[in-house]
């Protein structure tokens, strides 16, 4: 056991639970959280959650999650639970980079979102999810993971949901205001329910890195002033909700991801290119960052945290995408390098992402997952001695 090892959040689902998730994926005539649509689903989810929490406790993990067993996809379940949202099966899913680095890999297609009314975050199902986790964990620290406001703002504003004659929101300004209100509703209810740690997951920072070949904002004929203005909007919407949560006594964390679906990723982009924006200016208490391969670039990006002495950094030096254990020499070398920049007492160790950001999970077995978690705990204990 080491408090210096952290899990990002998601863990592989058992087959009994996945059987229901596959039914959900193919049906858009059902109503979130889908318990009334599939007999036995709620009971199966509850039993699986109890089991995965028990396994985390047995391994002495410092901060527990529900394995995200209540989710089908890392971000959309939260949006499905907002009032004013309708889900549907789209013509195609998201496109990830396939393992050859060249081809496209399509995700599940139940990703469509329609804004049917003003967005609201009260009485969200995730509050029930949190209460169940807290009861199972007893006195141990727990966290709830939800998508960042800026990520959902991006997805909704890049669709046909705003600006039309019959649209609920006339444009991005109105959408931003509505989404912030919905998030504040949820955050206030979470804090009132006894929540202590809220983690915002985000996959969009890298689109603003000009060394990301997979970004729509790289290349010629790009209005960089407009791109910078959008980045500023993302920072503002996040900080508005972060500061609100911190004002309620919550610890506000974030995990930045470059895509994690069936052991595939979505793109590149180095932290050095965006450190002055998202690392320096976002007001999170703890940053989970991905450094499992060369896509993230140099650790020099950590230098911006010298001016943020209270921010903690979780280095995702291990990989949740691979079946084999990680190169321990590499991990220790990079920990030493990071410690030389900002000091080892502000650092933690993790895998770059969860093991199942979406319910199908990465291409490894449950036994391999726990072996990788055990390795991470041992490495952290050896490195920090705590």
Residue-wise pLDDT for 229-277, tens only, equals 999 999 999 999 999 999 999 999 999 998 888 888 887 889 999 999 9
Average pLDDT for residues 162-191, to the nearest whole number?
Answer: 95
10 Å CB burial of residue 43 (0-12, 13-18, 19+) is exposed
- The single-letter DSSP state of residue 312 is E
Q: How high is the pLDDT of residue 102?
A: 67
In this structure, are residues 345 and 299 in contact, taking their beta carbons and an 8 Å threshold? no
Residue listed under structure tokens 């069936």: 262
Q: How high is the pLDDT of residue 101?
A: 67
Asked if the model's pLDDT at residue 159 lies above 70, the reply is: yes
> What is the CB neighbour count within 10 angstroms for residue 232?
12
Any residues with CB less than 8 A from the CB of 383 and at least 6 apart, and which?
4, 332, 335, 344, 349
Asked if the model's pLDDT at residue 100 lies above 70, the reply is: no
Average pLDDT for residues 39-57, to the nearest whole number?
Answer: 98
Asked if the model's pLDDT at residue 218 lies above 90, the reply is: no
Each domain of the chain, given as residue ranges in start order, spans 15-384
Asked if the model's pLDDT at residue 352 lies above 90, the reply is: yes
Q: How high is the pLDDT of residue 51?
A: 98
- The single-letter DSSP state of residue 109 is S
Residue listed under structure tokens 């509050």: 127
Asked if the model's pLDDT at residue 220 lies above 80, the reply is: no
- What average pLDDT does the chain have? 95
Range among 87-96, 200-209, 252-261, 282-291 rated most confident: 282-291
Q: And the tokens for 351? A: 């895998």
Q: How far apart are CA 257 and CA 266, in angstroms?
A: 9
Which one has a higher pLDDT value, 263 or 371? 371
- The single-letter DSSP state of residue 14 is P
Q: How far is CA 192 from the centre of its chain?
A: 23
Burial 257-284 (b: 16+ CB within 10 A, else e): bbbbbbbbbbbbbbbbbbbebbbbbbbb
> What is the CB neighbour count within 10 angstroms for residue 302?
25
In this structure, are residues 174 and 162 in contact, taking their beta carbons and an 8 Å threshold? yes
SS (H, E, C) 257-295: CCCCECCEECCCCCHHHHHHHHHHHCCCCEEEEECCCHH
Q: How far apart are CA 217 and CA 96, in angstroms?
A: 17
10 Å CB burial of residue 210 (0-12, 13-18, 19+) is middle
Asked if the model's pLDDT at residue 150 lies above 80, the reply is: yes
Average pLDDT for residues 92-113, to the nearest whole number?
Answer: 86
Collapse the DSSP code of 245 into the 3-class scheme (helix H, G, I; strand E, B; otherwise coil) and give the result.
Answer: helix
Q: How far apart are CA 260 and CA 362, in angstroms?
A: 8
Q: How far apart are CA 157 and CA 151, in angstroms?
A: 10
Q: What percent of the chain has pLDDT over 90?
A: 84
Average pLDDT for residues 265-291, to the nearest whole number?
Answer: 94
Instruction: Tell me the CA distances in angstroms from 257 to 200, 265, 296, 337, one per residue in order.
Output: 11, 9, 10, 22
CATH 3.20.20.210 corresponds to the domain 15-384:
yes
pLDDT-derived band of residue 54, with 50, 70 and 90 as boundaries? very high
Sheet holding 312-318, edge to edge: 144-147, 197-202, 251-256, 286-290, 312-318, 347-351
Q: How far apart are CA 40 and CA 108, in angstroms?
A: 23
Instruction: Read off the pTM.
Output: 0.96
């Amino acid at each position: 056991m080491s408090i210096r090892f952290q899990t990002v959040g998601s863990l592989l689902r058992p087959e009994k639970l996945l059987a229901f998730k596959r039914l959900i994926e193919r049906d858009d005539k059902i109503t979130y959280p889908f318990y009334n649509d599939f007999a036995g689903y709620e009971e199966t989810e509850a039993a699986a959650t109890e089991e995965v929490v028990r396994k985390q406790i047995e391994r002495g993990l410092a901060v527990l999650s529900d394995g995200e067993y209540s989710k089908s996809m890392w971000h959309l379940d939260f949006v499905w639970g907002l009032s004013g949202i309708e889900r549907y099966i789209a013509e195609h899913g998201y496109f990830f980079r396939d393992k050859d680095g060249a081809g496209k890999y399509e995700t599940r297609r139940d990703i469509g979102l329609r804004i049917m009314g003003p967005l609201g975050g009260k009485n969200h199902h995730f509050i029930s999810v949190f209460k169940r986790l807290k009861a199972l964990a007893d006195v141990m620290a727990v966290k709830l993971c939800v998508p960042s406001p800026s990520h959902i703002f991006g997805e909704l504003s890049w669709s046909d949901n705003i600006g039309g004659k019959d649209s609920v929101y006339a444009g991005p300004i109105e959408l931003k205001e509505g989404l912030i209100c919905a998030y504040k509703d949820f955050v206030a209810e979470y804090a009132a329910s006894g929540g202590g740690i809220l983690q915002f997951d985000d996959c969009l920072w890298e689109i603003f890195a000009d060394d990301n070949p997979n970004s729509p904002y790289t290349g010629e004929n790009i209005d960089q002033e407009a791109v910078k203005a959008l980045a500023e909007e993302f920072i503002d919407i996040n900080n508005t909700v972060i500061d609100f949560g911190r004002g309620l006594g919550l610890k506000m964390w974030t995990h930045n991801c470059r895509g994690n679906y069936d052991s595939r990723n979505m793109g590149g982009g180095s932290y050095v290119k965006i450190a002055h924006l998202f690392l320096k200016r976002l007001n999170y208490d703890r940053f989970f960052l991905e450094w499992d391969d060369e896509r993230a670039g140099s650790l020099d990006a950590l230098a911006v945290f010298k001016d943020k002495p209270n921010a903690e950094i979780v280095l995702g030096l291990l990989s949740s995408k691979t079946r084999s254990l990680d190169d321990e020499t590499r991990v220790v070398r990079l920990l030493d390098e990071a410690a030389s920049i900002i000091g080892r007492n502000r650092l933690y160790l993790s895998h770059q992402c969860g093991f199942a950001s979406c319910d199908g999970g990465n291409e490894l077995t449950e036994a391999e997952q726990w072996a990788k978690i055990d390795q991470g705990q041992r490495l952290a204990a050896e490195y920090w001695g705590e």
